[in-house]
Structure formats: structure tokens, C-alpha cells
Chain A
Amino acid sequence: MKNTDDFILDIQGLKVHFEMKGGILQRTTGVVKAVDGIDLKIRRGEILGLVGESGCGKTTVGRAVLRLIDATEGEVYFEGKNLLDQSPKTLKPMRRQMQIVFQDPISSLDPRTKIGATIAEGLKVHRLQRWKQPFSTFLALLELATDIPLWLGLRWLHKRLREPAILGALIGILGSVASFFRALAAEWDQTGNIEISNSQIRQKVLDALQKVGLEKTHTNRFPHEFSGGQRQRIGIARALVLDPTFIVLDEPVSALDVSIQSQVLNLLKDLQQQLDLTLLFIAHNMSVIEHLCDRIAVMYLGKIVEVASREELFKNPQHPYTQALMSAIPIPDPKTKRERIILEGDVPSPLNPPRACRFHTRCREAIEICAIDEPPLIDIGNGHMCACHLRQPEAAEPTGDDVTSVLSEVSPS
């Protein structure tokens, strides 16, 4: 059993609001409350699933945790240190331990870099940057330095030689030397096309590719030469190659066929077991969630409405939104037809979320109080957390929104 108090990540009161701007002066026209106050703890070596309606803020949570976007409010502790307080310098070593697989793989891949180099990039980034920076500065100086004597030399020659052709030839030679370096610098900047030379790095890259079911020959292809699912796997390989301790996976298997999807899920599970890897796994496919995750958090419109262990959530979903979600899962059998809970009413907007319980506008069971008071996320027994007025703990007394109490429940076997 895992140490229940060993939290690798602890999110407290996280809020991320986006200002919608419009007009020439970029004035604020509205605020999208993408994430509006969530608490979440993730144990070391745990796979936490995050599900919820499209647009409810899952990706935003993932990105805010890695500080890829700025949080409006709240704290995120990673290994006991508040990430949101770190300076770029102290953040850097922490960043190496945390990786993210983006929802939209193609936008996160550099179109000009072959994917072998893309995957290797993280491995060599240190060594490269150490001399890439001074190198380009050096070239810029060199360029300047060749310009000045050229110019002074010209003036001097101009006085003595009146024949433009001789002069031209002389300067032409000098100029080509300068521009050769200039071109070199430009090339260097443009193509991130670093050959993977180091055999150790190369081996790691190939291993990572093979683990996600891609081939050796794929390393020298560009991102647009792959299928959607292949690109998605490149994203996973890139994150895995760095041996992180924590990964945010944002819908990492949505474009994979079931066989390769299973292969990737098995791989993730192995890594969790062997290396104590911790994952925040965002997905829409509930059967994938069920097979991979130890615990599941359900989000609705910027809030967490339910957190429970896998068995609990799938056997005994409590929040009315979770119940609707479960009933809408398509079943891979054309003969079974199921009674589906159709969510009535317009989908509310995070620009102007409903007051009190955010689900009350569409909830079948809503009562008066739902539109007046916001239900806290409380333990309703067995460590099952739920934010709903109609779901109270059996032993009457609400425990308040104390997250830790939930986490002391036994982790899934």
C-alpha cells in the first residue's frame, strides 16, 4: 500500500481566469473563469484521472500546474515547494521532473525539426544552450567587426584607387567571408535540425519510440509526415524520454486505435509500478479511465464536483453530473441500448457561470437550495468526496471540505 500522506502534488484554491479582450485597444470584454477554485492532492506513484465536460477547465489545470500559464490565485506545491512562487531559475530544475503531453500534439511539435531531434531535445538542451548563446553573440560581433574595418579600409582605398573594379574585387572577397558567417548563424538559428550523434541519447530516443509502437526509421521524418495517432505517440515518447517523476497527460490516447491504446496504457501502468511515476491523466474515454486510474476527479465548469477511488466512482457515482456522464458512455455492442440521462437546458458558460451549485440549471434533482448556496466538496463516507446538497454523509455530520480526510482511504489494490 502506498504511503497515503506522501503527496507529490498539492493544489490549493487554484483559480485561473482569462480576460477576453476585444477592440483595437484590447479592452477586457469579459472574464472566462476557466478554473475557479479547486483543491486537489496527488499521491506519489498514483494515477489520478481528471474527467469532465469539454471546456470545464481540465487542460487549464494541467497547464497551470506546470506554470505554462499564470494562475490567478492559489498555490501548487510540488514536492513541498510552491511552484507558483518559484523564480525562473529555481523553477528550471523542477520543470525537468515534470512533463506534459499536450492535447493537440501537432501544435506542440516544431514543424521544422525532425522528430528524432525533437525527442532528443530535452536530453541535450543543457549542453546545447551552454554554447549556442555565446556562439551567436560571437557571430554577431564578428559581423560587426568585419564591417568596421571594411568601411574604414574602403575610405582609405577610395582616396588612392579610383578604379572601382579592383576595389570591388577586394571588398567582394572580404564581404563573402563576413556573409558566410552570417549565413551560418542564420542557418544555425533556423533549423533545429540537430543530428542525434551521441549514441547513448540515440539509443534512448529509439527505445522511447519503440515503446509507443513507432519505428526506427521514423526519427528522420518531420511532424507533418505522420498520422494523427502517430503524432500523439511522439508526444508521449518525448515526455517519457526525460524520466520525469510527474506527467500531465492531456488526452494522450484519444487518437489511438484500441490495440495501440492498450499498449500505451499498459506501458504507463508499468512505469507507474516500476518507477513510482505519478500521473495526472485527463481523458474523456471512461473505459480508459477505469482501466488506468487509481482515483478519479470529476470537474464541472471550473470546479471539482466529485473525487473517489476507481471502484467507488464506477460502482457508485454520486454527483448527478457524474451519473449523467456515466449514462452517456457508448457501449461497443450494437444490440445494447441504454437509458441515457439527457442533460436538459443550455450548457452554461464559464463567462457567466450559474450561481451557487453550477450544475443546478441542468440537474434533474435540483431543489431550491441548489440555486442559493454552493455545496462544499465533502466526504460522504468511505473517502468519497462529493459536492452536492443532496448527498450528505451517512453519519449526518458533514466533515467540511477537508480534502486530506478523503485521501486516507485505502488505495486500490
Chain B
Amino acid sequence: MIDKAMQNNGNNSSNGEHALLEVRGLKTHFFTRSGVVKAVDGVNLRVKRGQVVCIVGESGCGKSMTALSILQLVDKPGRIVEGEIYLEGEELTSKNRREMSQLRGSRISMIFQEPRSSLNPVFKVGKQLLEVLSIHKHAIAKTEREQQVVDLLRAVGIPDPKKRASNYPHEMSGGMAQRVMIAMGIACAPDLLIADEPTTALDVTIQAQVLDLMRKLRDELNIGIIFITHDMGVVAEMADIVAVMYAGTVVEEAPTESLFEEPLHPYTQGLIASIPIMGEFKDRLDVIPGTVPSLIDMPPGCRFASRCRARIEHNLEKCLDEEPELMEVRSGHSVRCWLYEEQDT
């Protein structure tokens, strides 16, 4: 599977063929009372059909906002201030509301991070699920759509799906609500599925089942998946490509194996080092010391500089003055860090 991904990842970016999704220089800022919060600040991303791209990164670094920007669902006072988003060659930021709403749910769909609050509290979950089908698949008979709702609920592992369809969201457990969200996301077999931490409330057995389901969708329907998660175990299992984000930008992008084998960016290294490992009990877990600089006034230079040990070890002056570019250091493995420029030259 990973081999396949590696092949897909080959250099066909220059020949005319479009990737499923291409995000270029995306910037989404929030214009708040206390200043401009640069939640997403120059993100590039490519997803091909049949590929799972995992986004990992510090809490609050702009993963969800990147996803919402793709769907053009950023609420005020937030706004996409720069950048282009292409879905199979079509530019999305210039589309109007109506065109976007036709795309949403059918060609791009999203599984939201906080499942229970993402379900409408006054409607039964079955009805909410049915709505997606009614909007995009009105050609199908109603009874069949209703059957599909039950089938979808069963597919995501909800017991007694027929009865559960008439539950209100507050009558479900956190994990059940999350599975309803997943069912909603895959209902219309979209071209691009964006899953924002879709398995946080699931136990590992059901998580495994859901991950299998997604992989199956990817293989059978050749869809692209953006998978946002904090669980490095899930990343290792699902991802073809991993993008590591930090403070609004992508700092490293690499095929999964390459990333786990040799993480290049000091942040990624810290992140991987702080994964608690099963069977190796530690009284204190490792953390990356320090905190992210405020997104309102980001200091110049590398965003990670204030916490970077490598910078001190290698005595890099540049880090504090100039922001590094994302550069391809190895085949398919790019990183945004001065450390590697030094090595190249």
C-alpha cells in the first residue's frame, strides 16, 4: 500500500494532470479586537486521488482552519486573505455561495472535530443523515434513501441502527455521535473527504473498524482523504503522506515511512520523541519545552526558533531573522528549516 503511494507521489506534478486538491499559499486570518490572528499563514498542500494525507501538529496550529478554508466555511471575523485552492483544476475561492454549496457534501465533505456539538440538537440523527442524501441524491427513491441511512449507521458500527436513527444527539454517547458524523461525511461518496480528528472518541476496536472502512472507500472509489489527527499510531497506519504543521504553516512534508524513519524538522523530532510508547512506562513524559509564539505577532524568522534546540546546537543566526522556505531535501521529503540549507550548500 505504501509502495503504491510512493509511486503516486512520483513527479507528475509538472505534467498537465491535475491533483485532486491543490492548495497554494493559503492564508486565513482572523481580524479580532486584539489584533490579526494569523491562524493559517501560507499553507501549501497537495492531495491526489487514492491518497491519504495526514496533517499533524500542535494544538491550535491551524489544521482545522486549513480544512475549513478549503470548504470556504471560515466564520467571521475570519477570512481567506490570500491563496488559491484547486479541486481538480477548478479554483474554489472565486466560487460564489451557491456553487460552493453544490460542491459541499457531494464532492468535498468534512467530518468535524467536535462531533456532538456539530449535530443539530433538535433533530433526530437519522433525519440529519437523511438530509445529506436528500440534497445530493434526490434521484433515489425516499425509501431507498432511508435504507441507506440505516446501512451507513451500521457500516460505522452503530448497534441497532434502525432504532438509533431516531435518537437525538444528546441521547448518544460521544463516540456514537462521532460515528454519525463519519457516516454523514461518507454518505455521498465524495471525491475529497476531510476528516478532522474523526476517531478521538472511539475505542481502539471501533477505531480500527472505521479506519478500515475509510481505506476501503479510498481503494474502491479512489477518493482522496485529508486526515487530521494527533494519534501517531493512526498516522502510521493510515497515511501515505504526512504534513506537519506548526503555527500556521507546514514545516515538514514527507511520505509516512520516511517521516517516521528520519524526521527532519526539529519540531517533528520533538513531537515523535514525546509519543508515549506502550510497554515503556515512564514516570514523566517528554515534552517540547516552551510555547508557541502568539499568532497575533509572530516574531520574524523561523516560527519554531524560540523552542529549537538544534538552532542553539548548530549556532544558526539566520533562524531569528529570516523565515526558511519549504525545501525538498530528499525525494518527496521537504522541510522548512535552515539546518538543511546549511547542509546542502
Contacts and interface: CB of A to CB of B under 8 A. Distances in A.
Interface of A: 18, 20, 22, 30, 32, 51-57, 59, 103-107, 213, 215, 217, 220-221, 224-231, 233, 250-251, 254-263, 265-266, 269, 284-288, 290-291, 310, 314, 324-325, 328-335, 340, 343, 346-352
Nearest to A352: B160
B276 A287 contact: yes
Given A54-B202, A225-B32, A107 B260 contact: no
A32 B172 CA distance: 10
Contact of B203 (A54, A105, A258, A288): A54
B282 to A, nearest CB: 7
Contact of B64 (A224, A228, A284, A328): A228
26 contacts: A18-B171, A20-B171, A52-B203, A53-B206, A104-B117, A213-B291, A217-B296, A225-B32, A227-B63, A228-B59, A228-B196, A251-B200, A286-B278, A287-B276, A288-B276, A291-B282, A314-B278, A314-B279, A325-B203, A328-B205, A330-B211, A334-B236, A335-B260, A349-B160, A350-B159, A351-B163
Given A255-B200, A262-B286, A330-B234, A59 B173 contact: yes
B206 to A, nearest CB: 5
Contacts, number: 211
B22 interface: no
Nearest to B34: A217
Given A254-B200, A329-B204, 8 more contacts: A53-B205, A226-B60, A257-B230, A266-B287, A287-B277, A333-B236, A334-B256, A351-B160
Interface residues of B, number: 78
B166 interface: yes
Contact of B176 (A54, A285, A332): A54
B59 A257 contact: yes
Given A105-B114, A333-B236, A257 B57 contact: yes
B208 A229 contact: no
A256 B160 contact: no
Given A228-B113, A334-B257, A335-B257, A254 B201 contact: yes
Contact of B114 (A104, A257, A266): A104
B317 interface: no
A349 B159 contact: yes
B306 interface: no
Contacts of A335: 257, 260
Contacts of A231: 114
B59 A227 contact: yes
Given A228-B113, A314-B279, A328-B204, A255 B174 contact: no
A214 B287 CA distance: 15
Interface of B: 2, 30, 32, 34, 56-60, 63-65, 75, 113-117, 157-160, 163-164, 166-167, 171-176, 178-179, 196-197, 200-208, 211, 230-237, 239, 256-257, 260, 270-272, 274-279, 281-288, 291, 294, 296
Contacts of B291: 213, 215
A254 B288 CA distance: 18
Given A217-B294, A255-B113, A347 B157 contact: yes
B164 to A, nearest CB: 8
A351 B176 CA distance: 14
Contacts of B281: 290-291, 310
Contact of A20 (B157, B167, B173, B285): B167
B182 to A, nearest CB: 12
Nearest to B238: A330
Contacts of A260: 58-59, 287
Contacts of A54: 173-176, 178-179, 201-203, 206
Contacts of B279: 290, 314
Contacts of A352: 160
Contact of A334 (B2, B163, B164, B271): B2
Nearest to B204: A328
Given A258-B276, A284-B203, A328-B207, A251 B174 contact: yes
B232 A258 contact: yes
B204 A325 contact: yes
A315 B206 CA distance: 22
Contact of A55 (B2, B176, B278): B176
B284 A290 contact: no
A346 B150 CA distance: 14
Given A255-B197, A346-B159, A291 B285 contact: yes
Given A227-B60, A260-B59, A107 B271 contact: no
Contacts of B157: 347
A230 B116 CA distance: 17
Contacts of B32: 221, 225
A272 to B, nearest CB: 12
Nearest to B208: A328
B329 to A, nearest CB: 19
A258 B275 contact: yes
Contacts of B207: 284, 328, 330
A251 B176 CA distance: 14
Given A55-B176, A287-B276, A332-B275, A266 B204 contact: no
A251 B260 CA distance: 27
A263 to B, nearest CB: 5
Contacts of A22: 166
B189 to A, nearest CB: 24
B277 to A, nearest CB: 7
Given A104-B174, A217-B294, A229-B59, A291 B276 contact: yes
